[in-house]
Amino acid sequence: MRGRRGDRMTINIQEHMAINVCPGPIRPIRQISDYFPRRGPEPEGSGRGCGEGPTRLAPLALAPPAALLGATTPEDRAEVDSYDSDDTTALGTLEFDLLYDQASCTLHCSILRAKGLKPMDFNGLADPYVKLHLLPGACKANKLKTKTQRNTLNPVWNEDLMYSGITDDDITHKVLRIAVCDEDKLSHNEFIGEIRVPLRRLKPSQKKHFNICLERQVPLASPSSMSAALRGISCYLKELEQVEQGPGLLEERGRILLSLSYSSRRQGLLVGIIRCAHLAAMDVNGYSDPYVKTYLRPDVDKKSKHKTCVKKKTLNPEFNEEFFYEMELSTLATKTLEVTVWDYDIGKSNDFIGGVSLGSGARGEARKHWSDCLQQPDTALERWHTLTSELPPAAGALPLA
């Protein structure tokens, strides 16, 4: 039925639903290879004339899933210094030198300069500084930091930072993390990029030069990694350290340099507390007030306790104090020397920083130092030892002084 001109035709819902509005079968979207085809290899002598049909196109070779996800092969991971891409170059490059001095057990890090850093401020510049961490390990305890260079994308530092108490075992399994950050006085400091250098790449007493592109922060494997990383670099490092150390390893709390010598003339053990390095910060000001206590276990008479003086507001105290335990060499072989470091607090219990036990039941460098002392009397042997978070059972009662 035709309506008159100007009249508005109405359609009820039943007729509307009966209208066929289907556009037809959905066809796949054409690939870019359909517009720019690649011809597959043809055998020799199989030329085609103008009247023949089109040749069969060879499918494009797709990258393996690992390559699509950004995974690298072992050959790519081996050459860290030569890694370069548009993504990392946009963050900038960092030039620095590393030197491991085996004689003095020190790691020298010379931060030279950076080029082409990513702008972080509204003025198109940045206020960059460099932070160093040894992983795995206590993040705040072994953090070293350069000065901040203002309003520049090509800062020059030329600063020498040094880690003390580095042993051959540290060179074997530790990694140096170098992070470049932008200082912001009004809010949190911003992360620009980082570099990770396995210390096993260093040779003793040979300076190695690096000029590497900065990389983005490595994501964590745990589900809470993103929220932890957003709360700051310190939270990120803490969780990453737990992942790399594993559940069965103890937290490192710093290093201590001890001297052991058995005196045949005085018939006793001479213990020297020389210094500590990179202790964990226990106070709100980012420092500690450390002192050292020593025990010779088992201590039936409870007379083997010795204590150094307190060093105020420092994470790298120097004590240079000696304690003497009068005892025969045969009896000393059955003893265990316990060394603990504490943070002194006024009016409350002191905080335990870390400790180490030396004796026949110890492991690694602690056991070797003890056995060398017994086998080489009248010889002062100085060794660095790692302080762990494990509190000796006999020291379970927190002291007040």
Number of helices (H) and strands (E) in the chain: give both, helices first. Answer: 10, 16
Q: What is the mean pLDDT of the chain?
A: 77
Q: Is the dihedral of CA 113, 117, 120, 125 positive or negative?
A: positive
Tokens encoding 93: 């490059």
Summarised one tens digit per residue, pLDDT across range 218-236 is 544 444 444 444 444 444 4
Query: In the chain, pLDDT over 70 holds for what percent of residues?
Result: 66
In order of 182, 222, 227, 299, 334, the CA distances from 239 in angstroms are 22, 9, 11, 39, 40
Which has more pLDDT, 344 or 43? 344
CB neighbour list of residue 182: distance below 8 Å, 6 or more residues apart: 120, 121, 126, 127, 128, 189, 190, 191, 192
> Which residues are CB-neighbours of 8 under 8 A, at least 6 positions away?
none
What pLDDT was estimated at residue 30?
A: 60
Is residue 85 very low, low, confident or very high in pLDDT (cuts 50, 70, 90)?
Answer: very low
What is the pairing mode between strands 106-115 and 175-182?
unpaired
Provide mean pLDDT across the span 170-194.
Answer: 90
Region 281-303: what's the mean pLDDT? 87
| pLDDT classification of 273: cutoffs 50, 70, 90 | very high
Beta strand pairing call for 190-198 and 336-343: unpaired
Which residues are paired to 177 by β-bridges?
133, 196
281 by Cβ neighbours in 10 Å (0-12 / 13-18 / 19+) ranks as: middle
Give the pLDDT mean for 112-129.
92
Of 93-102, 116-125, 198-207, 236-245, the poorest mean pLDDT is in 236-245
Q: Where are the alpha helices (DSSP H) in 212-322?
A: 225-230, 233-245
Position with higher pLDDT, 278 vs 82? 278
In angstroms, how far is the first alpha carbon of the chain from the final one?
106
Top pLDDT among 290 and 218 is at 290
Per residue in 335-389, pLDDT tens? 999 999 999 988 888 889 999 999 988 888 899 999 999 999 999 999 999 898 8
- Angle, CA 46 vertex, CA 45 and CA 47 arms, to 5°: 95
User: Which candidate, 236, 313, 249, places its Cα nearest to that of 281?
Assistant: 313
Collect all residues with Cβ–Cβ distance below 8 Å to 199 and sequence separation of at least 6.
Answer: 100, 107, 170, 171, 172, 174, 175, 176
Structural contact between residues 122 and 96, judged by C-beta atoms closer than 8 angstroms: no
Q: What is the pLDDT of residue 15?
A: 58
CA distance 338 to 362: 11
d(CA 318, CA 277): 9
**Residue 359: φ, ψ to 5°:** 175, -175
- Does residue 123 sit in helix, strand or coil? coil
Give the integer Cα–Cα distance in Å for 144 and 177. Answer: 11
**In the predicted structure, residue 19 carries a pLDDT above the cut 80:** no
Task: Give me the amino acid identity at 5.
Answer: R
Q: Which residues pair with 296 in a beta bridge?
A: 337
The 10s digit of each residue's pLDDT in 310-335 is: 999 998 999 999 999 998 998 999 99
Amino acid identity of residue 42, one-letter, is E
